């Protein structure tokens, strides 16, 4: 038997929902609000009781209306301006508008308005944003002296995160050659980071989890008397967004292909990004020192993707290199400078700076820190900067070597301190002369983002959810993502959303930079979500709160492990796993150097216990610094097997000495449990 909503039946009978609710309650029908449903039999009974009466009333009103038509016309002619005056008396409301602002506009108590909204089935607070549909319903139901006004036309700069026009006259004679910005792209484990290591004479790979570059880094190298700016983009397919952003920043792309592996899916993806960005591509055929290297096979595979090597009569420059042994690196650099010369890459160092946020994070000591690549102009200390919905004043500029500088010129990557919040990776950065204007644009963009987020959230209704279930029995897996930097969040979020199927959808309800805190756990508990932590850890309070609320926190250091777990869970293929169990935490209060042993940490066990057989994880500002085994555990001069909460002891971590006062050591063990999400 069918059902009908109370408000639909009220519309049909031309009466208010509240009146119909009262009538149904008098008939002993269990209804509570306009969103309640009634059986078709009950609806027919009510139609029989009130439908005819209402129809006859409508007919009488129609006849009276026809009789009075001529009189109305005459009256309108005499008092032509009266309707306009009445209309002018009504307050013009431009949606969306907050509840408290709407209450003030119509001269109504906020609490009364909230009760009326509750009667309409809308649970709101004073900051709840009312859309046009809700406003029309309110004005009609409560007969308020208000009307819906047309939204004001806003300046494009207030809502668009792109370039803001500034008053600056360009002088063509000011343009000078600048260092080329080069992106190193390619498949995972094909040697991109090793190539950059050889070029920059530094080590990066060993510090990366799983040997994979997790964050975009920008560095400058010198070849002869010329500089080249390199962007290292992660090779794993999950970092598509980051690699695409790297292609948009760059002037020249180096595609690294392993001679013993050939063209792989991420290699094809990198080729497509370079073609889409319309930038020159240089192919570096790497690992030619290996016995099973086949550079000619790689070149043959390149032709299948429209890249014909120069020696085969095409236009693609191919250089055979060994990044590990340093073979032909100089030749590769020469080719980069040759292509840069042909492209005639120029910039104006005398104009206000423009650039792109390569990476951004929240540093505990320095605040919001963004790696910015200046594409044009010069960035100076004291400049007012705008990046998306974030603004600020440049307090300090730090180059890739950690040195403080006064000015960052074209094609120079720098860490910028002074933003009032963490900007998004990929945001356009520019210098504005007027700080007040920058703040206004930032505020407008933030408000627009906030309103868009609220509107998206408020569109979910019971009917919509029921329809989704009926169509395909859609279930949603709610996720909260926390990571150490913005770029990782962006890539992880996009990769997880791509895992959605017809039966199960992935819904990322919140993302953020920094440690997992109690607020995240609270949100997860309220929305039945799982927390994904990427290179961050929960605090002790957050961990205990999560255990109390039965919130599942999953922690990862390598992205494909996270994707694999979520994918397996959604596919129903979860096998029993060896799960990590946190046993305790200790605070480092002093460090001691012991000959032939290394650094020993003097710690105070703040919770749980420490066992000689446990694993140790070193945390600094809630970010994982190192993981390893406990090499020694002592109380005074005696080796002990276990130390409980509230006691001090000495802890040594195997093959690791970079321990500082204030660090937290987390002790954990593994146990086999049934795998669930």
| DSSP label of 290 | S
Judge whether residue 223 has pLDDT over 70.
yes
Residue 83 CB neighbours (<10 A): 10
Question: Over 60: is that where the pLDDT of 317 sits?
Answer: yes
DSSP assigned state of 314: S
Q: pLDDT per residue over 609-632, tens digit each?
A: 999 999 999 999 889 999 999 999
Q: Which helix (H) or strand (E) holds 416?
A: strand 413-419
* Domain presence at residue 166: no
pLDDT band at residue 574 using 50, 70 and 90 as cut-offs: very low
The pLDDT confidence band at residue 157, using thresholds 50, 70 and 90, is: very low
Same domain, 488 and 636: no
Give the pLDDT band of residue 444 (cuts 50, 70, 90). Answer: confident
pLDDT tens-digit readout, 58-97: 555 555 555 555 554 554 555 444 444 445 567 888 877 8
Same domain membership, residue 311 and residue 219: yes
Helix 240-249 vs helix 265-277: crossing angle, to nearest 10: 30
Residue ending a domain, among 320, 346, 372, is 346
Tally of CB atoms within 10 A around 268: 14
Asked if residues 264 and 298 have their Cβ atoms less than 8 Å apart, the reply is no
Domain region containing 328: 176-346
Residue 589 lies in a domain: yes
Q: Is residue 164 part of a domain?
A: no
Report d(CA 115, CA 133) in Å as an integer.
18
Domain end call among 574, 606, 621 = 574
Q: What mean pLDDT comes out for the span 480-486?
A: 89
Instruction: Say whether pLDDT at 282 is over 90.
Output: yes
Residue 565: predicted pLDDT = 80
What's the CA gap between 616 and 94, in Å, rounded?
57
Please state the rounded mean pLDDT for residues 399-410.
87
The overall pTM is greater than 0.85:
no
CATH of the domain at 304: 3.40.50.300
How many whole angstroms from its chain centre is CA 449?
A: 13
Answer with the residue of higher pLDDT: 249 or 343: 343
Does residue 204 have a pLDDT over 80? no
Measured distance CA(271)–CA(242) in Å, rounded = 15
User: Do 549 and 643 sit in the same domain of this protein?
Assistant: no
| Averaged pLDDT for residues 439-450 | 85
The residue-averaged pLDDT of 144-164 equals: 61
Q: Residue 200: name the closest of 231, 170, 173, 175 by CA.
A: 231
Q: Say how many Å lie between the first and final Cα of the chain, rounded.
A: 38
Helix and strand numbers, DSSP H then E, in the chain: 20, 35
- At 587 the pLDDT is 95
Q: Say which CATH number the domain at 565 has.
A: 3.40.50.10050
Take residue 77 and report the two structure tokens written for it. Answer: 């002619």
| Among 322, 346, 370, residue at a domain's last position | 346
Gap between the Cα atoms of 394 and 651, Å rounded: 42
> What percent of the chain clears pLDDT 70, i.e. is strictly above it?
81
Residues 265, 413 within the same domain: no
Q: Please say if the pLDDT value at position 431 is more than 50.
A: yes
What is the pairing mode between strands 553-556 and 648-653?
unpaired
> For residue 357, is pLDDT > 70?
yes
Given a cut of 80, is residue 153 above it in pLDDT? no
Q: Classify 371 as helix, strand or coil.
A: strand
Q: Is 162 a domain residue?
A: no
Q: Which pLDDT does position 159 carry in this prediction?
A: 46
Percent of the chain at pLDDT > 90 equals 21
Same domain, 496 and 509: yes
Confidence of residue 247 (pLDDT cuts 50, 70, 90): very low
Higher pLDDT, 576 or 557: 557
Residue 15 buriedness (CB in 10 A; 0-12 / 13-18 / 19+): middle
Pairing type for strands 181-186 and 226-232 reads: parallel
Collapsing DSSP to helix, strand or coil, 25 comes out as helix
| Residue 53 lies inside a defined structural domain of this protein | yes
Domain co-membership, 333 together with 359: no
Structural domain contains residue 154:
no
What is the tens place of the pLDDT at every residue in 525-569? Answer: 877 788 999 999 998 888 888 888 888 888 998 888 888 887 776
Residue 566 sits in the same domain as residue 605:
no
Residues 640, 646, 650, 654, Cα dihedral to 10°? 80
**What token pair was written down for 507?**
């819904």
Rounded distance, CA 567 to CA 580, Å?
20
| Average pLDDT over all residues of the chain | 79
* In a domain? residue 240: yes
For residue 263, tell me if it sits in a domain: yes
Instruction: Give yes or no for a contact between 253 and 232, defined as CB atoms under 8 angstroms apart.
Output: no
- Same domain for 24 and 129: yes
Q: Considering all CA atoms of the chain, what is the largest pairwise distance in Å, rounded to the nearest integer?
A: 109
**What is the pLDDT averaged over residues 25-37?**
78
Count of domains for the chain: 5
Is 503 in the same domain as 568? Answer: yes
pLDDT, greater one: 578 or 365: 365
Band (pLDDT 50/70/90 cuts) for residue 232 is low
For residue 7, the domain's CATH number is 1.10.10.2480
Q: Do 237 and 282 fall into the same domain? A: yes
CATH number at residue 383: 2.40.30.10
Residues 58 and 204 in one domain: no
Q: Are 623 and 666 in contact, with CB atoms under 8 Å apart?
A: no
Residue ranges of alpha helices (H) inside 27-155 are 40-46, 52-78, 82-89, 99-105, 110-119, 132-142
Q: How confident is the model at residue 425 (pLDDT cuts 50, 70, 90)?
A: confident
Give the separation between CA 97 and CA 99, rounded to whole angstroms. 7
Residues 548, 594 share a domain: no
């Amino acid at each position: 038997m069918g059902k009908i909503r109370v408000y639909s039946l009220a519309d049909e009978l031309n009466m208010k929902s509240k009146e119909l609710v009262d009538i149904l309650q008098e008939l002993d029908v269990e209804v509570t609000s306009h969103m309640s449903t009634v059986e078709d039999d009950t609806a027919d009974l009510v139609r029989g009781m009130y439908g005819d009466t209402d129809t006859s009333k409508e007919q009488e009103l129609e006849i009276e209306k026809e009789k009075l038509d001529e009189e109305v016309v005459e009256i309108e002619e005499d008092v032509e301006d009266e309707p306009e005056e009445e209309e002018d008396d009504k307050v013009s409301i431009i949606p969306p508008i907050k509840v408290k602002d709407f209450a003030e506009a119509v001269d109504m108590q906020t609490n009364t308005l909230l009760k009326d909204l509750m009667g309409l089935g809308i649970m709101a607070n004073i900051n709840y944003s009312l859309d046009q549909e809700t406003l029309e319903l309110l004005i009609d139901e409560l007969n308020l002296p208000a009307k819906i006004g047309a939204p004001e036309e806003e300046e494009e700069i207030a809502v668009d995160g792109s370039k803001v026009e500034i008053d600056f006259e360009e002088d063509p004679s000011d343009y000078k050659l600048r260092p080329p910005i080069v992106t190193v792209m390619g498949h995972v484990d094909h040697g991109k980071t090793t190539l950059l290591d050889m070029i920059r004479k530094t080590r990066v790979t060993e510090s990366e989890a799983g040997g994979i570059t997790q964050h975009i880094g920008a560095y400058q190298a010198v070849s002869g008397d010329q500089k080249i700016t390199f962007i290292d983009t992660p090779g794993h397919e999950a970092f598509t967004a980051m690699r695409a952003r790297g292609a948009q920043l760059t002037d020249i792309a180096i595609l690294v292909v392993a001679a013993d592996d050939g063209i792989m899916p991420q290699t094809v993806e990198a080729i497509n990004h370079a073609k889409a960005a319309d930038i020159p591509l240089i192919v570096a055929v790497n690992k030619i020192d290996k016995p099973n290297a086949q550079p000619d096979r790689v070149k043959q595979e390149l032709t299948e993707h429209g890249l014909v090597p120069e020696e085969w009569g095409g236009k693609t420059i191919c250089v055979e290199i060994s990044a590990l042994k340093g073979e032909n690196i100089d030749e590769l650099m020469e080719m980069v400078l040759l292509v840069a010369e042909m492209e005639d890459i120029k910039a104006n160092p005398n104009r206000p700076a423009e650039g792109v946020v390569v990476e951004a994070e929240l540093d505990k000591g320095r605040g919001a820190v963004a790696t910015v690549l200046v594409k044009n102009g010069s960035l100076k200390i004291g400049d007012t900067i705008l990046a998306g919905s974030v603004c600020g004043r440049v307090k300090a500029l730090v180059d890739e070597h950690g040195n403080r500088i006064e000015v960052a010129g074209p094609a120079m990557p720098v860490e910028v301190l002074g933003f009032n919040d963490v900007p998004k990776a990929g945001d356009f950065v520019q210098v504005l002369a007027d700080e007040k204007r920058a703040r206004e644009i930032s505020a407008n963009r933030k408000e627009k983002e906030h309103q868009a987020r609220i509107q998206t959230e408020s569109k979910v209704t019971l009917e919509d959810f029921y329809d989704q279930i009926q169509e395909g029995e859609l279930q949603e897996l709610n996720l909260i993502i926390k990571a150490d930097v913005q770029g990782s969040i962006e890539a992880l979020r996009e990769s997880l959303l791509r895992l959605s199927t017809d039966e199960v959808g992935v819904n990322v309800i919140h993302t953020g930079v920094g440690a997992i805190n109690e607020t995240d756990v609270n949100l997860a508990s309220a929305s039945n979500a799982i927390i994904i932590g990427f290179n961050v850890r929960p605090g002790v309070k957050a961990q205990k709160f999560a255990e109390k609320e039965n919130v599942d926190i999953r922690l990862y250091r390598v992205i494909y492990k996270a994707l694999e777990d979520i994918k397996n869970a959604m596919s129903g293929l979860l096998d029993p796993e060896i799960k990590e169990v946190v046993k305790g935490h200790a605070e480092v209060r002093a460090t001691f150097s012991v000959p032939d042993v290394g650094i020993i940490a003097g710690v105070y066990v703040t919770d749980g216990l420490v066992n000689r057989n446990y694993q140790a994880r070193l945390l600094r500002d809630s970010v994982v610094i190192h993981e390893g085994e406990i090499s020694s555990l002592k109380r005074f001069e005696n080796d002990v097997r276990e130390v409980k909460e509230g006691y001090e002891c000495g802890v040594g971590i195997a093959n690791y000495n970079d321990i500082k006062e204030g660090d937290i050591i987390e002790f954990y063990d593994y146990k086999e449990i049934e795998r669930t999400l």
